[in-house]
Structure 1
Amino acid sequence: MIQSETLQLLEWSRLCQHLATFAATKLGAIAAHHLQPPATLSESLDLLTQTKEVYQLEARLTSGLSFEGIQDIGESLERAELQGLLSGEELLAIATTLSGVRRLRRVIDDQEDVPILNELVAEVRTYPELEQEIHHSIDERGDVADRASPKLAGIRLKLKSLRDRIYQVLQGILQRQGGAVQQQVITQRGDRFVIPVKAPQKDAIPGIVHDTSSTGATVYVEPNAIVGLSNQLRIHRRQEQTEEEAILRALTQQVAAVKPDLEKLLAVATALDLATAKARYSLWLQANPPRFIDRQAGETITLRELRHPLLVWQQQHEQGTPVVPINVQIQPSIRVVAITGPNTGGKTVTLKTLGLAALMAKVGLFVPAREPVELPWFDQVLADIGDEQSIEQSLSTFSGHIRRISRILEAIRGESEALQVDTLLAPRQNSDEDAAQVESWEDDAQTSNLLQPSTPAPSPSLVLLDEVGAGTDPAEGSALAIALLQHLANTAQLTVATTHYGELKALKYQDERFENASVEFDDSTLQPTYRLLWGIPGRSNALAVARRLGLNPNVVDQAQSLIGGASEDINQVIAGLEAQRRRQETKAKEATQLLQQAERLHQEVSDRARLLNERERTLKLSQERAVQEALVQAKEEIAQVIRTLQQGPKSAQNAQKATDALQEIAQRRLPAKLPAKQKPSFRPKVGDRIRIPRLNQTAEVLSAPDEDGELTVRFGLMKMTVLLSDVESLDGQKAEMPVKQKPAPAPTPAVASPPSPVVRTDKNTIDIRGKHVADAEFELEQGISEATQLGTLWIIHGKGTGKLRQGVHAFLERHPLVERFELAQQAEGGTGVTLAYLK
C-alpha cells in the first residue's frame, strides 16, 4: 500500500508513459505503462543487463532491432484454447508475429556478446510450418484463399459461374424493359440481386419486390427469371461458408495445440520490446548505466549532475525551463540527510529526483547522471511528499502525514524483521554470478546480527520525507522530527528529509550518521539557483523572499527585529560558508581549466617531439641508404679498374693509369674533410632572452655587444647597460668576450673575375615561408639533396621577424654539402631570399 502511494507521489506513472512512447509494439507499450519495480536484486541485475545489451545492439546495428509484424495475439490465443473460431485477420496476425520474433531471434543469435538476450530467446519456438500453413490458407486481406482446399476452389468456381449467368439475365431484362427501369444498374438487397423499377410500372417486370425507395418512386425487384439461380447461389454460398469455417477451425486447432509456446514467445517479444524501449529512452535522456554498491563495504553513493527525468521531458517537449542538475555524494557512514533552504528552492524536486533515480535503477533503466552512477539497491522506496508550502496547514493535514509516516515505519519494521529471519535461517542456494552480490550482503548482515542479536537489521530502504514535522506547533514538530529521524537512522539504510527547523541542522554535529545539505539561494537576485550544496545548512530566507514578493517593508523590518541577533549571526555564518564554497568552486574550475590546458600543451609537445624523432630517423635512414649506394658504386668502379688492369698487358704505364683512376675515384667518392668544430660559445643577439645572475633577473637584449663588451638590456620597465661578463644564456652558457684586434692596413683590392651567373629555376628553388624552423629543416634537407647536381639552391623564407632566416642560416652553416650562402640581390628578394652554393 505505502509503496503504491510512493509511486504515485513520485509521479512514476508519468515516467512510464514517457517510456511507453519508445516501445515499438502495443505489448511493449502496455508493459511500459504497468512497469513495476522488481522484488529482488538479481531481477534488477538481469533487467539492467538486458538494457545494456540492447543498448549495445542499437548502437551497433544500422537500423536497430526491428519489431515489425509482432502484434498482440493474447486474446486470440485464449479464444483458441476455449475452442473458439479465429478469424482470418487473427490468424494472419499470429503468422506475422511468428515471423517477426524469428527475425529478432536471428539477429540476436548472430551476436556473441549478448548472453542474457541469447538466453532469453534460446527456448523460443516460432513454428515456421504453422506460419506457412496460415499464409497458404489466408491471403493478405485476411480472407480464406482459394488455394486453401480444392473443395473451396470448386465451390467458388460454381459461384462465379452462377453470378455471371445472373448478370447476363439481368442485363437482358434491363435492355428489353428500359422504359420501366429507373436506372440501368444491378444492385443487391441482402444476398439477392435486384434492379430498380419505376413504381407505376412494376408489373412490367414480374418478380419479387425486396425493397422500396424512401420516396416510394422506385421498387427493387428480383425478376422471376433469376429466382432459381439466386436460390442455387445461396446454397453454394452456404457451402463456401461451411468450407471456410472448416479451414479456419483446423488452423485454430493448430494454434490451440501450441498455445503455451506461443504465450512464451509473446512474453519474450514483450520483454525484448520493453528492454529496447528502456535502452532508447536511456539514450534519449543521455543517461548512464548504474552500478549497485554495498554501503556496508565502504562504498559511496555517487550521482553527479543528476537530472529529474520528468523535467528533462518537459524541457524537450513542452518548452520548459532548463533543468538544473544536482550532485549527490553520500558517504557510507551517513544514514540521514537533512536538506534545508528557502521555499520554492527545489528541495521537493531533489527528493523526487533521488526517488526516481533509485526506481529507474531497479527496473533496469539508465540514470540521467554523469558516470560513474553508483547507488545501493533499495528494497523499498518509501515517501511522504506533500504540498506543505500552503497556508492551509491544519490538524487534518498533519494527521494525514502522521498516518502515512506510520505506514512507512511499519513497512520498514516488517522488512527489517524479514531480513533478520532470512539472514539467520535461509540456506545458501545462490550459485550464479548475479546472486553473489546478494549473498555477500546477507553474510554481512548475518555477522552483524550475530554480534548484536538484540538490534534489528536496518532495512535496505530509501525514505523520503518532505517538510518533516510540519503542520503543527513548531516546538512539538521540531521535537517529533528529531525523534523520527533518529529512529530512521537506526532502522533504515538512508533517509533524506527536507525541513525548515533549525534544530535539525544541528544533528550533524551531535551524530556522525547525519549530514546537512541545502539548496543555494542567490542573495543578489533573491532567487533560488536550485543547486544542491553539501555540508552546509541552508537559510530559509523567508524575509528576503517576502520582501521580493512585495510585502510591506515596514512589516519585513519589524519581523527582522523580532528574529533576534543570534539567528542573524547564524545566517551570516552560513552566508559566509556559502560564499567560501562558491570561491572554492570557482578556483576548482580554474584549476581544472589550467590542468586541461597543461595536458593539451603537453600533448602538443609530445606530438611535436615524436614528429621530430621520426624526421630525424627518416633523415638518418636516407643518409645511410645514400652512403650504401655510394659504396656499392665505388666498389663496382674499382672492380672495373682492376679487371681492366688484369686483362691488359702488365706495364708500368697501365699500372700508372690504374693508380690514377683509383685516385680519381677516391677524390670523387670520399667525403671532404670537415673543419674542426669550434667550442660552442654564447653570443647574445638582439631579441634574445638572457639571465643576469647578480641581479637574479631575466632580460631581453635590446642592442648587440659593442667592442667594449657592453650591451643594453631590458627587464620589466627598466633598461640598463651591462657587461658581457655579467650575463649568461638561459641554459647557463657564459658569453664570449670580444677580442680587440689592431687595425690592419687595407689590402690592395685585386681584380676579381666576374662570377658566373646563377640561373634560378623551379628545380633549385624551395619556398618555406610561414613554416617553423623545425619543419623547414626537413624541406631544406630534401632541397639540398635534389639541387646538389645544380650547384645552387634558392631558399625563399620571407622577411617577417627574421627568426626563420636565422634558423635557415644556422642550418646552412653546419650542413656539410653547403659551401657558402648569401642573401639574394634586392631584385631577387633581398633579405627574404637566401642563395646557397653547394659543393
Structure 2
Amino acid sequence: MIQQETLELLEWNRLCQHLATFAATKLGAVAARNLEIPTTKAESLQLLAQTKEVYQLEQDLETGWSFDGIADIGESLERAKLGGMLSGQELLDIATTLAGVRRLRRVIDNREDIPVLTELVAEIRTYPEIEQEIHRCIDDAGKVADRASPKLASIRVRLKEVRDSIYQKLQSILQRQGGAVQEPVITQRGDRFVIPVKAPQKDQIPGIIQDTSSTGATLYIEPNAIVNLGNQLRQYRRQEQAEEEAILRSLTERVAAVESDLEYLLAVATILDLATARARYSLWLEGNAPRFIDFAGGEPITLRQLRHPLLVWQHQHEQGTDVVPINVQIDPKIRVVAITGPNTGGKTVTLKTIGLSALMAKVGLFIPAREPVELPWFEQVLADIGDEQSIEQNLSTFSGHIRRIIRILDTLKAEFSSSSVQKDPDDNRQAQEWDSEAVGKIQRTNNQSLILLDEVGAGTDPAEGSALAIALLKYLADNALLTIATTHYGELKALKYQDSRFENASVEFDDRTLSPTYRLLWGIPGRSNALAIAQRLGLGQEIVEEARKRVGGYSEEINQTIAGLEAQRREQELKAKEASQLLQQTERFYTEISEKAASLQEKERELKQYQEREVQKAIAQAKAEIAKVIRQLQQGSPTAQNAQKATEAIGQIAENRLPKLEKRSSSYVPKVGERIRLPNLGQTAEVLHLADEEVTVRFGLMKMTVPLTEIESLDGKKVEIPAKPKAVFTPSPQPATPKPPVTVRTSQNTVDLRGSRVAEAESELERAISKATESGVLWIIHGKGTGRLREGIHEFLQHHPQVERFELAPQNEGGSGVTIAYLI
C-alpha cells in the first residue's frame, strides 16, 4: 500500500522507536513502536487532548506520575479466561497492576482541569478486594504464603519437622562414619536426601543408592535410617503442592470472573502510558500543540522555526550537526508549492519534515515549531521520495517514480489518463479560469490529502519530464488539498505566474562558500548555480562563457533577477533581525524598569507602615503623659495656678513629641485635594477641608485636623498667618465628690466592637466615649475570642484622659466579654 510506503519513506518507524523510549511500561513501548495513524479528525483531537492534559499534569506535579507496578498481564488474563491456572508471580503482577492503575486514577480524580483523562478512567474498576486477597495469599517473591490457608500452614509445619529429623539423623551418620564419606555434606538427588559415600566403603552406610558420580568413585546413598522419613517428606510435599494449586486456582477463578473488566483496565493503562510518552517526547522536542485549521476555508498554514524531529534526535544523541529550522507559511489559496534549489540543499529534508509534522499532529504529538502551530488535518499523507530502481523488475528511476505516482493517484480515486500526461505544458489559460475550476473540483472531491513529490518528472528527457511534471501538478492542484514538489526544472518556476494556486520556494545557496545554507525561502524560485560553481572551482573561463552563450541571455537575466530578489530578501531579513533585537532590548529595559518601580512602591509602602506605627506610638505616649497631667490636676485643688501649670506641661509634651521644623516664609495657601507635608510627623497627606486657621488632612487610614502653620507644600513652602495671643486654659472647678455612675445599660452608653480590629475599635471607642460622657459610664462589648481585642481596648482606656477607671462586667452581664468604663 502507498500509505505504508509513505511511512517508510518518511522514516516514521524511527520516530516511533524514539517515542517508545519515553514509555514507562512494556505495554506503552509496544504501542508506541506500533503507533497507528488515526482515520478521523475526531480521534486525532481526542489524542491531542490527552497529550495536552498529561503535559499539563506532568508540569504541575512535583515528581510526575508513576506507572510503577503496572505489568503486561494480557497473556495471564487470556489463560485465566480459558481455564488455565496462573502462577503466583502472574497473580502478583495482576495485583500490582490494579494498585498502579488505582494510583493513576486517584491523581486524575484530584484534578478538575483534565476532563478527557477523567472521562477515560471513569469506568475502570480496580477491584481492591482481589488485590488484597492476592497479597494475602502470595508473598513478595511470588510464592504461596503460609497465611493463605490453615491447612497449608499445618502441612508446612509437619514438613519442617520431618526435614529437621532427616538432617539430625544424617548429621549423626556423618559424624559416626566420617571416614566412609567422600565429603561431610548433605545433598539431594531428586526429592531424596543423600550423603556422598566412597564406593569401597558403601557397606559401612547401608541404604539406597540414588546416584553415582561420573567416575564411579562416589555413591550418593540415602541411608536406611531416613528412608521412611523421606517417604513422609514426599507425601507432605505432595499435599503441600495440592494445597498450593487449590489456592492458586481459587485466585485464578476470581480473576477470570472479572477478566473483561481487567482487559479494559489494561487498555486504559496502555492509553495513559502512550499519552504520557507523547507528552514527554513533545516536551523533549520543545514542541508546541498544533491546531487543526480549515485550509480550504481560508486559514493559512503556519509552521515557524520547524525542525525535523529525527535530526533533532540525531543532534542530541548521536552528536550530529545543528538542525537548521525552516519556516512554512502557505496561503490558503495555494494548492501546489514547487521547491527548487541545488542538490544536497535540503529540499528532500523539507518534504520529510512537513510530512512528519502532519503525521505527528494526527497521532496527538506536539510539533517542534514555534507557536502558533497551525496546519490542516490531512486525511492522507502520500509521498514519492527517493529512488525506486529495480534490476529484477527492470525498473529505471523514471519508471519507479511513475509506478509510485500511479499508486498515489489510485489512492486519490482519480484517473491518471494519457490525455492528462500529454497535456500541452504551454497551456496559457487565464489564472482566474484555473482558480474557479480548481475551487469547484476541490469542493466536489473534498479531498484532504497532502502529496509530497521529490524530483517530480526526473529520470527522463528534460523536455518531456518537465511537461509531465507540469501536467501532474496541475492535476493534483485540482484533486488534492496541498501538493509540495521538489524539482530542477525551470519551467515549473513559471507556473506561479500562470496560476495563482501555485507558489515558488527555494533552498538558499551561499555563493561565497559554494554551499547550501538549508534555509527555505518563500516566493523566490531557486536559480541555477551550475556555471558559477564550475567557474569558482576552476573550470576554464572560455568553457564557462561558451556555456553561458548556449544557455541564452534570457536565462541569465532570470538568474540575475532572482539573485537581486535574494539580495533584497537578505537585506530585509537583516533589518528584521535588527528590529527584533531592538524590540528584545526594549522589552528587557521595560522589565527592569517595572521591577524597579515595583521595588520602590514596596519600599514606600513599608515606609508608610513604619511611619504610621511611629505616629500611633507617639500619640499613645503623648496621651499617657497628658492623662498623667490631668490626674495630677484632679488630685489637687482646682486653682488657676494649677491649670496654668497643666497647660504648660501639655505644651512641653507637644514640644517634645512633635518637634517644630524651621519655617520658610511664603504666601503659600493649600487647596482641597492637594498633597501636602506634615513636617512634625514626617508624613505626606491629602487636604480634605480648609477652615480659617485649620486644615483637615488624611494620611494612610488616619484623619486629623491640624493648624495651617503645621503644614507645608511638597516643595517646602509654609503658610504664614498673623500670630494671636495664646489663650490660657482654665479648667472648670471639679465637684468635690464624683457623681455616681449610671449602671443602667442603654443604646447611648453601649458600643459593640466585636469583629473589629484594634485600630478600628479605637476610633469607634473615641466616638462612643464622647457620646457617653454625660452618663458617666460606657459598656464596651468586645467578646472573648483570643483576647487580643480586649487587651487593645484596655490599653487604650488606660491612657485615655476621660476614663477614670474600667473593669470587666459581672458574670451575668457578659463577664470577660464586656468591659465597663467609668468616665470623668
Q: Same fold (TM over 0.5)?
A: yes
How far is 1:592 from its partner?
A: 2.2
User: Partner amino acid for 1:182?
Assistant: Q
How far is 1:663 from its partner?
A: 14
**What is the aligned counterpart of 2:496 among 479, 502, 508?**
508
Gaps of at least 5 residues in structure 2 are 417-435, 669-676, 685-712, 719-824
**The residue matched to 1:413 in structure 2 has which SS?**
coil
- Pick closer, same or farther for the CA change 1:408–1:626 going to 2, 3 Å: same
1:19–1:277 CA contact under 8 A, matched in 2: yes
Instruction: Output the CA distance in 2 between the equivalents of 1:656 and 1:237.
Output: 113
Aligned residue pair count: 654
1:338 is matched with 338
1:60 paired with 2:60, answer yes
2:318 is matched with 318
User: Partner amino acid for 2:268?
Assistant: V
1:343–1:540 CA contact under 8 A, matched in 2: no
After superposition, what is the alpha-carbon deviation per residue over 1:505-540, rounded to whole angstroms, capped at 9, x for unaligned? 111111111111100001111110000000000124
2:93 is matched with 93
How far is 1:659 from its partner?
A: 12
2:764 is matched with none
- Pick closer, same or farther for the CA change 1:181–1:649 going to 2, 3 Å: closer
2:581 is matched with 593
1:715 is matched with none
RMSD: 4.1
- Pick closer, same or farther for the CA change 1:319–1:612 going to 2, 3 Å: closer
1:395–1:472 CA contact under 8 A, matched in 2: no
1:461 paired with 2:439, answer no
1:388–1:470 CA contact under 8 A, matched in 2: no
Instruction: Output the CA distance in 1 between the equivalents of 2:277 and 2:180.
Output: 67
**The residue matched to 1:219 in structure 2 has which SS?**
strand
How far is 1:661 from its partner?
A: 11
How far is 1:120 from its partner?
A: 0.7
Instruction: Output the CA distance in 2 between the equivalents of 1:389 and 1:556.
Output: 34
1:82 is matched with 82
Identity %: 70
Instruction: Output the CA distance in 1 between the equivalents of 2:365 and 2:546.
Output: 52
2:524 is matched with 536
Instruction: Output the CA distance in 2 between the equivalents of 1:166 and 1:405.
Output: 81
User: Partner amino acid for 1:596?
Assistant: Q
Instruction: Output the CA distance in 1 between the equivalents of 2:680 and 2:326.
Output: 59
Instruction: Output the CA distance in 1 between the equivalents of 2:319 and 2:49.
Output: 33
Query: Superposed, which structure 2 residues align to 1:4-19 within 5 Å?
Result: 4-19=4-19
1:473 is matched with 461
Range with greater deviation from structure 2 (357-366 or 546-555): 546-555
Instruction: Output the CA distance in 2 between the equivalents of 1:649 and 1:166.
Output: 120
**The residue matched to 1:382 in structure 2 has which SS?**
strand
Query: Superposed, which structure 2 residues align to 1:108-127 within 5 Å?
Result: 108-127=108-127
1:369 is matched with 369
After superposition, what is the alpha-carbon deviation per residue over 1:47-75, rounded to whole angstroms, capped at 9, x for unaligned? 10100100111011111010000000001
1:482 paired with 2:463, answer no
User: Partner amino acid for 1:72?
Assistant: D
Range with greater deviation from structure 2 (312-321 or 84-93): 84-93
**What is the aligned counterpart of 2:563 among 561, 572, 575?**
575
How far is 1:36 from its partner?
A: 1.4
- Pick closer, same or farther for the CA change 1:559–1:205 going to 2, 3 Å: farther
1:566 paired with 2:554, answer yes
After superposition, what is the alpha-carbon deviation per residue over 1:123-173, rounded to whole angstroms, capped at 9, x for unaligned? 110111111111111111111111111221222222212212222222222
How far is 1:414 from its partner?
A: 7.0
Query: Superposed, which structure 2 residues align to 1:146-161 within 5 Å?
Result: 146-161=146-161
2:381–2:449 CA contact under 8 A, matched in 1: yes
After superposition, what is the alpha-carbon deviation per residue over 1:463-486, rounded to whole angstroms, capped at 9, x for unaligned? 111001111111111011111111
Range with greater deviation from structure 2 (525-534 or 222-231): 222-231
Instruction: Output the CA distance in 2 between the equivalents of 1:240 and 1:665.
Output: 100
Q: TM-score, normalised by structure 1?
A: 0.71
How far is 1:559 from its partner?
A: 3.9
How far is 1:453 from its partner?
A: 9.1
User: Partner amino acid for 2:303?
Assistant: L
User: Partner amino acid for 2:525?
Assistant: P
2:25 is matched with 25
1:469–1:481 CA contact under 8 A, matched in 2: yes
Instruction: Output the CA distance in 1 between the equivalents of 2:652 and 2:12.
Output: 98
Instruction: Output the CA distance in 1 between the equivalents of 2:64 and 2:6.
Output: 35
**The residue matched to 2:413 in structure 1 has which SS?**
helix
1:465–1:497 CA contact under 8 A, matched in 2: yes
**The residue matched to 1:85 in structure 2 has which SS?**
coil
1:205 is matched with 205
2:104 is matched with 104
Instruction: Output the CA distance in 1 between the equivalents of 2:662 and 2:227.
Output: 126
**The residue matched to 2:168 in structure 1 has which SS?**
helix
2:293–2:375 CA contact under 8 A, matched in 1: yes
After superposition, what is the alpha-carbon deviation per residue over 1:389-437, rounded to whole angstroms, capped at 9, x for unaligned? 99xxx96221121111111112122799xxxxxxxxxxxxxxxxxxxxx
After superposition, what is the alpha-carbon deviation per residue over 1:180-204, rounded to whole angstroms, capped at 9, x for unaligned? 1111111111111111111122222
Instruction: Output the CA distance in 1 between the equivalents of 2:339 and 2:111.
Output: 47
2:92–2:142 CA contact under 8 A, matched in 1: yes
After superposition, what is the alpha-carbon deviation per residue over 1:759-801, rounded to whole angstroms, capped at 9, x for unaligned? xxxxxxxxxxxxxxxxxxx9x999999xxxxxxxxxxxxxxxx
1:399 paired with 2:434, answer no
Instruction: Output the CA distance in 1 between the equivalents of 2:441 and 2:10.
Output: 36
1:458–1:490 CA contact under 8 A, matched in 2: no
Query: Superposed, which structure 2 residues align to 1:385-396 within 5 Å?
Result: 385-387=385-387, 396=396
1:19–1:281 CA contact under 8 A, matched in 2: yes
1:520–1:530 CA contact under 8 A, matched in 2: yes
Instruction: Output the CA distance in 2 between the equivalents of 1:577 and 1:464.
Output: 27
Instruction: Output the CA distance in 1 between the equivalents of 2:34 and 2:651.
Output: 99
After superposition, what is the alpha-carbon deviation per residue over 1:95-116, rounded to whole angstroms, capped at 9, x for unaligned? 1111111111111111110110
**The residue matched to 2:327 in structure 1 has which SS?**
strand
Gaps of at least 5 residues in structure 1 are 417-447, 679-777, 786-811, 818-839
**The residue matched to 1:456 in structure 2 has which SS?**
helix
2:16–2:33 CA contact under 8 A, matched in 1: yes
After superposition, what is the alpha-carbon deviation per residue over 1:773-830, rounded to whole angstroms, capped at 9, x for unaligned? xxxxx9x999999xxxxxxxxxxxxxxxxxxxxxxxxxx996469xxxxxxxxxxxxx
1:268 is matched with 268
How far is 1:14 from its partner?
A: 0.3
Instruction: Output the CA distance in 1 between the equivalents of 2:680 and 2:382.
Output: 76
2:505–2:521 CA contact under 8 A, matched in 1: yes
- Pick closer, same or farther for the CA change 1:205–1:659 going to 2, 3 Å: closer
- Pick closer, same or farther for the CA change 1:129–1:540 going to 2, 3 Å: farther
User: Partner amino acid for 1:595?
Assistant: L
After superposition, what is the alpha-carbon deviation per residue over 1:527-577, rounded to whole angstroms, capped at 9, x for unaligned? 100000000001242344556678777765654443222222211111111
1:496 is matched with 484
1:214 paired with 2:214, answer yes
How far is 1:330 from its partner?
A: 0.5
Q: TM-score, normalised by structure 2?
A: 0.72
How far is 1:599 from its partner?
A: 4.3
- Pick closer, same or farther for the CA change 1:649–1:617 going to 2, 3 Å: same
1:174 is matched with 174
How far is 1:228 from its partner?
A: 2.1
How far is 1:341 from its partner?
A: 0.5
1:252 is matched with 252
User: Partner amino acid for 2:352?
Assistant: K
**The residue matched to 2:364 in structure 1 has which SS?**
coil
Instruction: Output the CA distance in 2 between the equivalents of 1:404 and 1:606.
Output: 61
Query: Superposed, which structure 2 residues align to 1:41-56 within 5 Å?
Result: 41-56=41-56
User: Partner amino acid for 2:500?
Assistant: E
2:181–2:198 CA contact under 8 A, matched in 1: yes
How far is 1:457 from its partner?
A: 2.1
- Pick closer, same or farther for the CA change 1:406–1:624 going to 2, 3 Å: same
How far is 1:386 from its partner?
A: 0.6
How far is 1:358 from its partner?
A: 0.6
User: Partner amino acid for 1:319?
Assistant: Q
